[in-house]
Each structure stands twice: as C-alpha cells, then as structure tokens.
Amino acid sequence: MTKLKLAIVGAGPAGIYAADILLKAERKFDVSIDLFEQLPAPYGLVRYGVAPDHPRIKGIINALRNVIDHGDMRLFGNVHFGTDITLEDLKRHYNAVIFATGAVRDSALDIPGIDAAHSFGAAEYVSWFDGHPDVSPEWTLDAESVGVIGNGNVALDVARMLAKHADDLLVTEIPDNVYQGLKASRITDVHVFGRRGPAQVKFTPLELRELGELRDVDMVVYDEDFQYDEASQQAVASNKQVMVMDRIMQSWRKLDSVNNAGGTASRRLHLHFWARPVEVKKDENGRVAALVYERTESDGAGGAVGTGELREVPMQGLYRAIGYFGSPLAGVPFDKKHGVIPNREGQVLETKSNQRVPGIYTTGWIKRGPVGLIGHTKSDAMETVQHLINDQGSWWHPEDPSDEAIPALLAERGVQWTDLDGWHRLDAHEIALGEAHESTRERVKLVPRDEMVRVSRGE
C-alpha cells in the first residue's frame, strides 16, 4: 500500500486536529506523521494562549493528548522551522507538509506614542501569564491605572488577568513567577476601550459575564454609551448572543458603580465604548501617561464615525488587544497584508501568480487569520486534509523517507529536540510540581526553555 509520509509544522490545536482528521479519514494509503514544534511542549495556543483561569478551554488538551498519544505520529519539539529544519529538508524526507503555525504576534496600532514604555501588545502579556519560555519571567505591574484597547475576547482575558487578585489564581497552573508578579500589582483601575458600541462588541457572553463575578472588582459602565440608535437596537434584537451580552451590561448599569460612583471594591474594571484611540501621551521618562481617544458615534450601519471630541484617561500602562497577526515562514509564500499563508481551501498558492504550490498545505489561524474559536479549527482542518488526500498525484517524491533520516539530521545539526516520551516526562514533572505545592494544584508550569528541555530529555 502507498504510504503518505507527512510533516506537520506546529503542534497546536490546528496541527493536531489535522493529524487526527487525516488518521481517521477514508483513504487508500497508509499514513505516518511527524509533528514539528518550535517549543519544547505541544498544544500551542491552548497551553500558551488560553488564560490559566479557563480550565474548561484548557481541557481541550485532553482531546489533543489522545491524538498525539495514539496516532501513528512522532513529535519533534524544540525544533525551529527555517533554521533547525528547512523546506528543502522536508521535500527530501516527506511527501507533503501542512503548516499550522498559528498567529502569535500582535497587530500594529499606528497612533502617535504607541511606542511608549509600558505600552504592550496583548500577546506579550498573555505569553507572560501563560509561562511562555521565550518571554522574560519578570513583568512590572506597578501601574495603578491601565488601559486595554479592543473589544474581543483577548481584551477580556487581558483585562481580567490584570484586575483579578493573584490569590484567586492560586488554584490554576500559573507559574510561581506569575503569581509573584500579580501579587505585587498596584492596580486599582482597568479601562477597556471599544471603538464601537456595546451592541457591536466581539466578546462572547460567558467571557463577559465572568467579569462581573470577579471578587473585589466593581464593573463600571457609563450611561452615555447606552443611548442606542436604530442600528444598535436592531443588533440587539436580531442576535441572541448580543442580546444576552446587552442584558449583562444593562445589569451593571443598575449597580452603584455606574459612572464610577459609590463602588466598594478595591479594584474597578471600566468599559468605555465609542472610544477610538488617537494618541498615547508619555511622561518625561517616555512612559505611558494617558490615552487620548476620540469619542465616536454610530454611523447607522453598525460602524462608527468620529465626533471630533477628544478625551483623555490618565494611565501608566497600556495593552492593545486588537487582533493577532501571523509570521512568515522561510521559503513559504506569505501575504504580508493579512498575515496569512495565501491559499485556496488550504492548498498553498504562490504570492504573485496565485498558482498552486504542490505538496504544501496550511490550516488554522495561519490559513484563515486569527478569528474564530478553537473548535472552528476542526472544520478548517477537514477542508485542508480533504485536498491533501485528493492531491495524491502531486505529492513530493522524497529521496529518503526513512524514519531514521530526521533524527540523524537533527543530531548532525546539534538540535536538542524533544520527543513524545520527553513530553510525557515534562508533563509528569509539572503535575508533580503542582502536587507538591502547598495549595495542591493540578500542575505548575515550567517556564525556562533550557529547564523544559533538560527535564524532557531526562538529563
């Protein structure tokens, strides 16, 4: 029987779902899969993007674990595509490759002062609180007032992880350095800014409701933002999710803290709508001092137009959560404008000619952009895998498809790769750290890359 030797680059949900779908698909050939991951641990965004206090979503790891533990699959962790292994190598040893590298950078916000000290992208902060090995373990939380730009779920994660008291996170897997950093936080006010109105948010109801349940945090909303025009009324009436979220926010309007008066909590989380950021003001040391925004109003069709009125909120830190952006991969076509690999239903296309590039496929956020929940990645992978199966005639013909070739190549290059057994060792080590913790936690994540590699490799 013919064999498909497939490389998948990226061991996050997109790559693992693609592997699962291919292994279960009706097909006339055998499959063996090598999963390459630049981090020493698998699970990508679920491990390093989902907030630690969202165990339900983190639970997706159980399904992903089943796939990598039971499929005909090898894991090569701590292997960076483009340096440790190249596209030329993959062509020499595989029939095809699927790139599932996600989108982990922050989109840029082109306003004056955005380069101020203590102005961050959401991804940087998320990586820190999720214990990403490539981010400094130190994070200074000495600001009393901070801003978060954006009205999507990432903005909510960032705002919640800024406002929440550190001790309420002790039940989660946060690493000790994150607990210490949050414990030292001097925050009193988190201001979230949306450039459109409450009926145009991109949050989801569960995530929004959660804000109101935070201990010792008052929700602050402003009456002036809730004067709905016909478009907003229509948006609320026609969409169940928007209706639920409107109800949640309306319930906050009934609290004492509305318009920032009379709350009793030591921290406040403000939602500002119709607020388009226009400038970040700096202090004499170049640090964020205030966000200037233009008050907007509805354009009658779901969008917003400026009113010319400028307002200013003092703050000492700013986080922009306005969307993620994909990174280019060496030798692989890339659409610089949208931050994705150009493709037709997962079949990769040349940037200029739009011609198909045989043997190269893509799935997940690097295929369709950073939108949609993790579950959406499954249908995405199905589409890509179906093409891979149908395209058997245009697969690569590798010189050396043997199982020994890749370990030999990595060893020759001095790459300290980690494998599936190594991941099991690291996983067990983190679980043991959690058990040993005074408050007994499910796991405590190991952060430094060299330590992760050392434990994985049993050194």
Q: Is 323 helix (H, G, I), strand (E, B) or coil?
A: coil
* Contact status: 410 vs ligand NAP (CB under 6 A): no
CA-based nearest residue to 378, from 11, 4, 18, 7: 18
* Contact status: 154 vs ligand NAP (CB under 6 A): yes
Q: Which of residues 30-59 bind ligand NAP (CB under 6 A)?
A: 54, 57
Which residue number, 85 or 235, has a Cβ lying nearer to ligand NAP? 235
Pattern 97-126, ligand NAP, x by CB under 6 A: ------------x-----------------
Which residue number, 54 or 437, has a Cβ lying nearer to ligand NAP? 54
| Closest residue to ligand NAP in the complex (CB) | 152
Buried b / exposed e over 409-444, threshold 16 CB at 10 Å, is bbeeeebbbbbbebbebbbebbeebbeeeeeebebb
Which residue number, 27 or 54, has a Cβ lying nearer to ligand NAP? 54
Cβ-count burial of 28 within 10 angstroms (0-12 exposed, 13-18 middle, 19+ buried)? exposed
Which residue number, 262 or 303, has a Cβ lying nearer to ligand NAP? 303
Q: Is 46 helix (H, G, I), strand (E, B) or coil?
A: helix
To the nearest whole angstrom, how small is the minimum distance from the Cβ of residue 143 to ligand NAP?
20
CA-based nearest residue to 139, from 130, 149, 151: 130
d(CA 325, CA 145): 27
Q: Which of residues 297-356 bind ligand NAP (CB under 6 A)?
A: 321-324
* Contact status: 12 vs ligand NAP (CB under 6 A): no
Size of the site for ligand NAP (CB under 6 A): 26
H helices present in 12-86, as ranges: 13-24, 44-48, 55-58, 60-70
* Contact status: 370 vs ligand NAP (CB under 6 A): yes
Please state, in angstroms and as integers, the Cα–Cα distance from residue 172 to each residue in 126, 155, 380, 386, following that order: 15, 20, 31, 38
Task: Give, as one character, the DSSP assignment of residue 107.
Answer: P
Binding segment for ligand NAP among 92-100, 154-162, 212-220, 393-401 (CB under 6 A)? 154-162
d(CA 394, CA 381): 19
To the nearest whole angstrom, how small is the minimum distance from the Cβ of residue 195 to ligand NAP?
4
d(CA 375, CA 204): 14
Side-chain-side CA neighbours of residue 285 (13 Å): 6
To the nearest whole angstrom, how small is the minimum distance from the Cβ of residue 395 to ligand NAP?
33
Q: How far is CA 3 from the centre of its chain?
A: 34
Binding segment for ligand NAP among 84-92, 135-143, 371-379, 409-417 (CB under 6 A)? 371-379
To the nearest whole angstrom, how small is the minimum distance from the Cβ of residue 148 to ligand NAP?
10
CA-based nearest residue to 247, from 261, 257, 237, 262: 237
* Contact status: 258 vs ligand NAP (CB under 6 A): no
d(CA 340, CA 36): 19
Q: Which of residues 192-231 bind ligand NAP (CB under 6 A)?
A: 194-196, 202, 204, 207
Q: Distance between the two ends of the chain, CA-based, in angstroms?
A: 40
Which residue number, 58 or 441, has a Cβ lying nearer to ligand NAP? 58
**One residue of 153, 316, 343, 377 binding ligand NAP per CB under 6 A:** 153
Binding segment for ligand NAP among 78-86, 175-183, 189-197, 290-298 (CB under 6 A)? 189-197
- Under 8 Å between Cβ of 212 and 251: yes
Binding segment for ligand NAP among 8-16, 34-42, 73-81, 147-155 (CB under 6 A)? 147-155
Binding segment for ligand NAP among 7-15, 140-148, 257-265, 367-375 (CB under 6 A)? 367-375
d(CA 8, CA 27): 18
Binding residues for ligand NAP, rule: CB under 6 A, are: 54, 57, 109, 149-155, 157, 194-196, 202, 204, 207, 277, 321-324, 370-373
